[in-house]
Every structure is written in C-alpha cells, then in structure tokens.
Amino acid sequence: MKVQRGVWIVTVIAVVLFLTVWVFPIVWTLVTSVKLPKDVFTYPPSLIFEPTSANYEQVTAGRRSLVGDLWTSVVIAGSTTLLAMLVGLPLAYAFARLRLRWRNVLGVYTLFTYLIPRIGLVLPHFVILRWLNLTDTHLGLTLVYLSFTLPLAIWLMVSYCEDLPAELEEAARIDRATRLQAFWRIVLPQLRGGLAATTIFVFITAWNEFLFALALGGQNVRPVTVAMYNFISVEQTLWGPLTAAAVIAMLPVVVLGLLAQKQIVAGLTAGSVK
Amino acid sequence: MTRPETQLRNVTVGPDQHASTGDPGRRLRARLSATFDRERPFAALMVVPGIVVLALTTTLPLLYLVGTSLFRYDLTAPAGNGFIGFDNYVRLASDERFWDSLRLSAVFTASTVILQVSIGIGLAVLVERMSRGRALVRMAALLPILLAPVVVGLIWRSLMLTPDFGIVNYLSTVLGLGSRNWLGDPSLALGSVVVMHTWQWTPFAYLIFSASLATVPREILEAAEVDGANAWQRFWTIVVPLLRPAIVVVVIFRTVVALSAFDAVYAATGGGPGTATELVDIYIFRVSFQQLSLGYGSALAVAMLVITLAVTLVFLKMRRAAA
C-alpha cells in the first residue's frame, strides 16, 4: 500500500509514543531499583547517578528478606499449576474429543466457573479454610488457587485439543492401542506446545494472584505479591526496596511470558478472532 | 464432533492397514465395537476428576456463600450470630455506601473499557500500516499484561503518581498544569486509577484487534482506497464493521475484569481517599476482612455476582444478535 510521507510520520510518532507509555513505567522501576535514596528523591527525575545493589541486598537478606516469600510463591504457584494441568488436561481433551452425554451443560458450567469473580470465592474459602484448619498454609492456598487455575487451564487446553488432527489417534487405536495408551503416547506428545504455553500462562496467573493471598495467607504463608505490599505504609514508602522487590517479582513472569510470547498472544486472542 | 470422527475412522484406517489380514470389514467392526465398549469408562476417567475438583473449589464455595449471606456472622462480635433470613439483603438495599461503590464501579468500568477499546483499535490500525517493527510492538504490549496488577498498582502509586517525585507529576508541571496530588485528591483519584487500569489492559485489546485485523484481506482496504475513500471513511465504513465481533469480545472480557477490579486499585489507593475509589470489590473486602462481618459481606458478594452474571448474559445475547 502506498502511504503518503506525512501519514507515515504521524504513524511512527504515535506508535513510538504508545510504546514509550507502556514500557517507561517498567524501565523506570528497573532504574529506581538501582538508585540510592538520595538519587531517588532528586527532582527533576534524573538518569545520572551511581548505580547500587544496596536495594537488592536489602530484599534478599536480613530483616526485609523476600527469599522466603519468593519460595512460597514458587511452591504455591507451582503446585496449583501442576494440579490444574493434571486434572484439567484430561477434561479439556474429553470436551474436545469424546462424545459426552452432558457435553453442552458441562461446557457452559466450565465457562461459568471461569467467569466467577474472585471476590465471590474469597469469603467462603476463608471460612472453609478456617474450618479445615488450613488458613495460612501452603496446602490451603494451593487448593484455593485451583478455583481459578483449573478453569483457566481447561479453557486454554480445549482449544489446543480441538486443533489436534484426529488421524494419528485413530490409527493408534486400530493398532491395538487402548484409548489411554493413545492419549499418553500420541496425544500428549502432539500437545507439547500447547501444554507448555498453558502451563506458563496458568503459572503466571497464579504467581500474580493477590486477593486470595492477602485474605487467606498470614505470617507463615505470604506470597511475594503480599510481601512487597508491605514496603508501602502510611508513614513512608521504601522506594528502593519496593522497586527491587517489584523487579524480582516481575522477573519470572516476564521471562516466561517473553519465552512463550507467540503462544500466549495466540492464547489471549483465541476464540475472539475465529 | 462425533460424526466426522467416525467418517475419519473409516477413511484413514480402512484398507491400507488391514488389507493383508483379510476380511478388513469385520475386523474393523469388531475392533470399533470393542473400543465403543470402553468409551464410557474412559470418558468418566477423563471427566470426573476435573469436574469434581471444579465443583469442590468453585461451586461448593458459591453455595456456601449464598448460605452465609442468610446469617449474621460477625467475627468481632460473635454473640449475636445466627440465622437472620434476608435481613442482610434488606440492609444492603438501603446501604448508601454499597450503592455509591456500585456507581463508582460503573463509571470506572465504562470509562476504562471505552478507553481500552478506542486506543486499542487506533493503535492496531496504525501498526497494521507499518511494514517493520510489529514484533517489537507486540513484545511491548505483552509486558503490562504479564505484570501482577498489584505490582502495577504499587509502581503507579509510587513512581508515577507521587506528588513530589512522580513522573506524571513532573510531566504535568513541565506542561504547566501544576503539581497535583493524583491519588490523594478525591476529585482526581478515580481518574488516576482509571488511567492506571487502562494502561495495563489496553495492550490486551490491542493484541486482539491486531490479530483480528490480520485476518482482513488487504484487497478490501486497497479497493476502498482506489474508490477514493479517505482514511477516516475507510476506518468507519470498513475497519470498524469488520472488527465488530472482536470489539464485542473485548468489551465483554474487559467489562467483566473491570467490574471486579481489586488488586491494582487496592494497592494504589486502598479505596481512598475516604471512599473516592472504593469500587464494589474493595467495599466488600473491607466489610468482610476489615470489619469481619462475613454474613453481610457474603450478601454483598452475592449481589455483585448476580450483577456480573446479568451483565455477562446481556453481552452474550448481544454477541449472538451481532453474529
């Protein structure tokens, strides 16, 4: 398409402006995380300063250490993702492939569970966990997280399963493979890409969770999203440690997300373009 | 779903695999019927664990929530706790703070969704014209989506919007708009959290519109150009109608998310100053986990669920009508 020079310039300027607006807060967080307090509070904001690792030392050792909280996040997000994939994948496969008598009802039901606002779940989960003596435990939060990781895992995996060609399974079954063998040896290997993308996406969602962690965690179990919130109090904001904590908290999700960016974009847009 | 599968079975498997073993038709039929025998146990094995876990973690708690909403259940003053029927709902009907939070949520949701959709479409159309750099834009767009909303709230609260050192404040001073207390001034706080939410989620809208635009044949746009339509006319008469299904999807998803916005706003303002940014979910959280009135909190949450569900259903109806 032939585009006039003026239009082209406007386009580039607009796009660059948007990119700046999106990327700047993240870059500025990185920059601030290596500033000493005296550099944080220079006005106007400046890029000329002596970088320091003091903030990172503060949040990885000593009284304000986040290492334990990071580990909590890894354990909870990791186990809930694993469980969600374990029970979610077979269900997604069944929705995509098997004849189910209640297929439509179950499908609508799953979609419904995907759309439940978390504020409606946090309260009963709170009461149920108290009743089961599971408040402030890894197990408790892991199970509660299933209420959003499982619907998400199913929702994403169904479309990957639907895209799978059926021929290989059919051939395997004719070769005396049972349905389970066909699923294990033929379907799973083909689903590798979708499985990886879904696992990453579910893990990111669990890692980023805040409301459940805030209401159902406590002194023992405090995921990093809640822990970093403590760097802001009414009296003062610990800018350096806060931004260092933010960088550490976003690092895993950004790395994972960029690794799987094609699949994640495809997952986000799936169903809305068809 | 089942019919093509059966056809495939006959087509792909048939002669080439079993031609040598004789009488393929009968063998195939025996094999198929044996498979058919195992189908239902197999389906149960695949379906039951998932459905049970779903029911236990989502549906059971919801039923419990509805039950709790009929009780007085205050952890701070347990003496008067007990079944009170619909009293919590009666209280809710005349709870000004609840209706205010609902109005706030409505304004918040409407403004952020409109902003996300219009900026998202505009950017998608612009980027579509670029021959290079699309991958870069996509990567940049993905970043905010990946961040935890609570991290976004904290970053905006401190680095961007703080009155003395924040970047937004610096820009507004440079532009001659003066220094403002963006989150502390009740008249500015709601706008600030709308901007914050829009910042994080416009990329989502952009990605969907951009994927949707990529499916539009270039000839359509080029034909319009030959016809002499200018960019603005092309946008309204061709691009927008083509994007209509994507717009409906974005509106549905973003509305549901914005209606239950909590993390970022809570981290940025905690609902304040006063109740200036007290969205419904923040009010429910305060009632439930700060005042520890679990019964009344449950009634509020039930009301919110019903509203969300109703909005979703209306949108889905509209989507069906549009399709």
pLDDT tens readout for residues B198-210? 999 999 999 999 9
Q: How open is the CA angle A184-A81-A76, to the nearest 5 degrees? A: 145
Whether residue B106 sits in one domain with residue B38: no
* Same domain, yes or no: B113 and B182: yes
Residue type, A164: L
Q: Are B208 and B277 in a shared domain?
A: yes
The pLDDT of residue A271 is 52
CATH number at residue B306: 1.10.3720.10
Residue B292 lies in a domain: yes
Query: Could B256 and A208 be called an inter-chain contact, meaning their C-beta atoms sit closer than 8 Å?
Result: no
Measured distance CA(A32)–CA(B154) in Å, rounded: 13
Q: B44 and B185 share a domain?
A: no
pLDDT at A199: 94
Q: Is the pLDDT of residue B4 over 60?
A: no
First to last CA, chain A: 26
Q: Please, what sign has the CA dihedral across residues B44, B49, B50, B53?
A: positive
- Summarize pLDDT for A210-264 with one digit per residue, the tens: 999 999 988 889 999 999 887 776 667 788 889 999 999 999 999 999 888 888 8
Q: Among residues B51, B68, B83, which one ends one of the domains?
A: B51
For domain A59-269, the CATH superfamily is: MetI-like (1.10.3720.10)
Query: How much is the mean pLDDT over chain B?
Result: 85
Of B54, B143, B280, Cβ closest to residue A113: B54
Task: Please write the tens of the pLDDT for every residue from A29-55.
Answer: 999 999 888 888 777 777 788 888 888
Asked if B22 and B140 sit in the same domain, the reply is no
Residue that wins the pLDDT comparison between B21 and A154? A154
How close does chain B come to A62, measured CA to CA in Å? 22
Chain A residue with Cα closest to B312? A115
Q: Is the separation of the CB atoms in A67 and A48 below 8 Å? A: no
Q: Which of B36, B172, B200 is nearest to B116 (CA)?
A: B200
Is there a domain that residue B159 lies in? yes
Q: Is residue B58 domain-resident?
A: no
Number of residues that this document lists for chain A: 274
pLDDT band at B30 (very low <50, low <70, confident <90, very high): low
- Please identify among residues 119-138 of chain B the ones whose CB lies closer than 8 Å to any CB of chain A: 119, 122-123, 126-127, 129-130, 133, 136-138
Q: Is residue B73 part of a domain?
A: no
Q: Which two tokens stand for residue B163?
A: 């009155």
Which of the four pLDDT bands, split at 50, 70 and 90, describes residue B258?
Answer: very high
Q: In b/e form, how buried is each residue of B205-234, taking b as 16+ CB within 10 angstroms?
A: bbbbbbbbbeeeeeeebeebeeeebeeeeb
Residue B248 predicted with pLDDT over 80: yes
Contact A150 B141 (CB under 8 A): no
Tell me what pLDDT residue A270 has: 65
Shortest CA distance to A217 belongs to which of A157, A104, A134, A119? A134
Which positions in chain B touch A106 (Cβ < 8 Å)? 47, 51
Residue B62 falls inside a structural domain: no
- Highest mean pLDDT out of A111-115, A136-140, A156-160: A136-140
- For chain A, what are the domain ranges? 5-53, 59-269
pLDDT of residue B18: 44
Q: Is residue B84 part of a domain?
A: no
Of B106 and B236, more confident: B106
Chain B residue with CA closest to A110: the answer is: B54
Q: Kindly state whether residues B139 and B40 are assigned to the same domain.
A: no
Q: Rg for chain B (alpha carbons), in Å? A: 27
Contact criterion met (CB below 8 Å) for B232 and B144: no
The residue with tokens 């979708």 is A194
Domain range spanning residue B175? 97-322
Testing the interface with A: which of B142, B195, B218 to mutate, by most A Cβ within 10 A? B142
Mean local confidence (pLDDT), B112-118: 96
Distances, alpha carbon B115 to alpha carbons A20, B101, B168, B202, in Å: 18, 21, 19, 8
Q: What is the pLDDT of residues B271-288, one digit of tens each?
A: 889 899 999 999 999 999
Neighboring chain A residues of B231 at a CB cutoff of 8 Å: 7
One-character DSSP codes across B87-105: HHHHHHHT-HHHHHHHHHH
Q: Does B308 contact chain A (CB < 8 Å)? A: yes
| Helices marked H in chain A | 5-33, 37-40, 54-60, 67-97, 103-115, 119-131, 138-163, 167-174, 179-181, 188-208, 211-216, 224-229, 239-259, 261-269
Q: Tell me whether B9 touches chain A (CB under 8 Å).
A: yes
Interface of B with A in 166-205 (CB under 8 A): 167, 170, 199, 203-204
CB B148 within 8 A of CB A249: yes
Interchain pair B305, A178: CB under 8 A: no
Domain presence at residue B68 = no
How many structural domains comprise chain B?
2
Q: Cα torsion at B157, B158, B159, B165 (round to 10°)?
A: 120
Long-range contacts of B233-241 (CB under 8 A, 24+ apart): B235/B125, B239/B121, B239/B125, B239/B213, B240/B121
| Residue to substitute from A18, A66, A148, A184, interface B, most B β-carbons within 10 A | A18
Return residues 270-299 of B near A (CB < 8 Å): 280-281, 284-285, 288-289, 294, 297-298
Contact yes or no for B57 and A144 at CB 8 A = yes
Q: What is the pLDDT of residues A197-214, one digit of tens each?
A: 899 999 999 999 999 999
Q: What is the mean pLDDT of residues A76-99?
A: 93
Label each residue of B118-144 as H, E or C: HHHHHHHHHHHHCCCCHHHHHHHHHHH
pLDDT of residue B105: 96
Q: Are A159 and A110 in contact (CB under 8 A)?
A: no
**Closest Cα of chain A to B186: distance in Å?**
17
* Residue B85 forms part of a structural domain: no
Between β-strands B71-72 and B82-83, what pairing exists: parallel, antiparallel or unpaired? antiparallel
Give per-residue pLDDT as tens, B53-68.
999 999 999 999 999 9
Res. A1 pLDDT band, cuts 50 70 90: very low
| B159 → closest Cβ in A28, A115, A210 | A28
The shortest CB-CB distance from B284 to any of A119, A167, A204 is to: A119
Enumerate the β-bridge partners of residue A232. A237
Could you give the CA distance from residue A151 to residue A112 in angstroms, rounded to a whole number?
A: 9
Q: Which of residues 53-92 of B touch A (CB under 8 A)?
A: 53-54, 57-62, 64-65, 68
Min Cα distance B181 → chain A (Å) is 15
- Cα–Cα dist A93/A37, whole Å: 54
pLDDT of residue B8: 42
| Mean pLDDT across B93-116 | 96
**CA distance linking residue B225 with residue A121, whole number of Å:** 52
Choose the closest CB to B267 out of A19, A151, A229: A229
What pLDDT was estimated at residue B11? 41
Q: Do B143 and A225 touch (CB under 8 A)?
A: no
Which of B148, B259, B289 is nearest residue A210 as measured by Cβ atoms?
A: B148
The phi, psi pair for B76, rounded to 5°, reads -80, -30
Are B44 and B104 found together in one domain?
no
Residues 256 to 275 of B: which have CB under 8 A from any A CB? 256, 259-260, 262-263, 266-267
Per-residue pLDDT tens digits for B142-194: 999 999 999 999 999 888 888 777 888 888 888 888 788 888 888 899 999 99
3-state secondary structure of B284: helix
Which of the pair, A93 or B25, is modelled with greater confidence? Answer: A93
Query: Shortest Cα distance from A108 to chain B (angstroms)?
Result: 12
